[in-house]
Amino acid sequence: MSFSDLTVDFAVGGTTVRAVDRVSLGVRPGEVLALVGESGSGKSVTALAAVGLLPANATVSGRIAFGGADVVSMNRRELTALRGRRIAMVFQDPVGALDPVFTIGSQLVETIRAYRPGLSRPAARARAVELLELVEIPADRFRSYPHQLSGGQCQRVMIALAVAGDPELLIADEPTTALDVTVQQEILGVLLAVRAEISGAILLITHDLGVVADVADRVVVLRDGAVVETAPVAELFERPQTAYTRELLAAIPRGGARDQTGAVGDVVPVLSIEELTVDYRRTGRAVDGVSLRLDPGEITGLVGESGSGKSTIAKAVLGLAPITAGEIRVGGESLTGARPAALRRIRSGIGVVFQNPAGSLNPRAAIGRSIGEPLAVHRGVRGAALRARVGDLLESVELPRSWADRYPHELSGGQRQRVSIARALALDPPLLIADEPTSALDVSVQATVLELIRSLQRDLHFACLFISHDLVVVDQLCDRVAVLSQGRVVEQGAREAVLRAPQAPYTLRLLAARSWK
């Protein structure tokens, strides 16, 4: 496939916004071409244009040549014949892309039969099992529903669905975003195995330059919709030609950037967890005897693979997961047996920043209303006082006060995450829980959000439980680290001790799965 002077304009509110500006590039047979750049650089728009999936308000010009035909000029019937059979896509959010009411096996069988109308159902089932084995999903999960699989397993199923039509080109749009480092490595291995299976090319869209270094043959760097640099992967990392590429490389988080701090003296912990056990009726034990302590002004990183219990611990602290055994104290107050009024008061002292700001913000509410809601509910702040406080909070996260009337869809991912941080800090909480707050952000945006959290923590002195699968980010930000595996803490201590001289084999495996620069 080749793109020649591809230009994409969107009609938005009576104005025209250019998302892709005369992009020219080619994907060679059998290669992995990485398309990188910050949010808004035009990566995903370019990919969607390649399969004719842009919305009705998009105007496309230029040429996208594939198999001797121009994709831009294809009609609906021709595009339908192209999608899946010759060009397939793996989307960023596999859980959202899979149908929740059908088993993964039935979805695979129906997809295979759609591409091969004459194939019998037993033959399609046999092929579906082969595809699951190709992406390393056990055959006994054939009857599982998407919600019964982990994020990494759902992404494997999406790859199997994409391969079902034996495409010549596979477009993978952020296929490893928000996955744990070990799962990420497994998914990359699956993609490379799939390339050998289909003997086709892969167009990889990603903001993770570590992923690019691992699997790509060539790299195209986009900025503001235009190509700024194209080079073989080794050459780009060793000798970047443009200032923008050097900025992207410099923005990659590196370990050891934070001085060791922490609380001094005999103080009451902001968060104390003693022998916490969480059992779910259907899935069994999620957390098994976990003990943690978080002191004022301290940032503790909670790391581990999917299913290790990280988010379940956070939910238990928020009163959103059942406490089977053990005790959680926030600011010295126990959650165990607390009455609703007491729980509400305790929760008002906990700020939460979620992984997906687009999903955690009300799309129908202006961001000023979202930020001010905790103040209105818990403090009764209204009118001019509320508007003034919202403006102060926006400025504290480096956004203009005038943006209070904007809606989430009008902001970038990094800007939405800043709004989420402002809302989490609206009540000046002594404890902030940040659940993967940077995993879906571009490296440069990630760096600014991490610096914002550091700056706010220095100014406001809150304690932070920072949940992440990225050990480099944890090394850059945290004072202490707790490593979870299968619901248990296998190692915890000062950042330097855990990440520089780990004692547990599991910690060593996590470190080995991450590229350290």
The CATH number linked to 93 is 3.40.50.300
Please, what is the Cα angle at 513 between 192 and 288, to 5 degrees?
120
Looking at residue 265, what is its pLDDT?
45
Query: Is residue 366 situated within a structural domain?
Result: yes
Amino acid present at 238: E
pTM of this prediction?
A: 0.62
pLDDT value for 264: 41
Q: What is the mean pLDDT of residues 334-356?
A: 85
Q: Is residue 439 situated within a structural domain?
A: yes
Strand order in the sheet with 218-223: 87-90, 169-173, 201-205, 32-36, 218-223, 226-232
Q: Both 432 and 339 in a single domain?
A: yes
Report residue 266 as tokens: 């005999």
Residues 115, 84, single domain; the answer is yes
Q: Strand, coil or helix: what is 295?
A: coil
Q: Are residues 459 and 387 in the same domain?
A: yes
pLDDT at position 319, please?
85
Query: Are 235 and 336 found together in one domain?
Result: no
Is the same domain home to 163 and 292?
no
Residue 517 lies in a domain: no
pLDDT band at 302 (very low <50, low <70, confident <90, very high): very high
Domain check: are 372 and 418 in the same one?
A: yes
Output DSSP code: residue 256.
Answer: S
Given 215, 250, 285, the domain boundary residue is 250
Give the residue numbers spanning the domain of 221: 2-250
Q: Does one domain contain both 277 and 196?
A: no
| 62 assigned to some structural domain | yes
How confident is residue 307, by pLDDT bands cut at 50, 70 and 90? confident
Classify residue 105: in a domain, yes or no: yes
Question: What pLDDT is recorded for position 260?
Answer: 47
Mean pLDDT of 37-45: 85
Helix (H) or strand (E) holding 134: helix 121-134
State pLDDT tens for residues 209-224: 878 888 899 999 999 9
What pLDDT is recorded for position 256?
52
**What is the rounded CA–CA span in Å between residue 517 and residue 475?**
12
Q: Are residues 418 and 281 in the same domain?
A: yes
Are both 21 and 96 inside the same structural domain? yes
The verdict on 125 and 85 lying in the same domain is: yes
Say what the pLDDT of residue 516 is.
Answer: 42
321 and 382 inside one domain: yes
pLDDT at res. 23: 95
Q: Say whether both 235 and 308 belong to one domain.
A: no
Q: Is residue 264 part of a domain?
A: no
Give the residue from 201, 217, 250 where a domain finishes.
250
Interior angle at CA 70, CA 68 and CA 76, nearest 5: 120
Domain boundary among 250, 284, 299: 250
| Coil, helix or strand at residue 451 | helix
The pLDDT tens digits for 65-81 are: 998 899 999 999 999 88
**Assigned domain for 258 exists:** no
- pLDDT for 261 equals 47
State how many domains the chain has.
2
pLDDT value at 182 more than 80: no
Answer whether residue 316 is part of any domain.
Answer: yes
Name the average pLDDT for the chain.
Answer: 87
pLDDT digits (tens, 9 = 90+) for 88-145: 998 877 777 889 999 999 999 999 999 888 899 999 999 999 999 888 888 888 999 9
pLDDT tens column, 419-467: 999 999 999 999 999 988 887 677 777 778 888 888 888 888 899 999 9
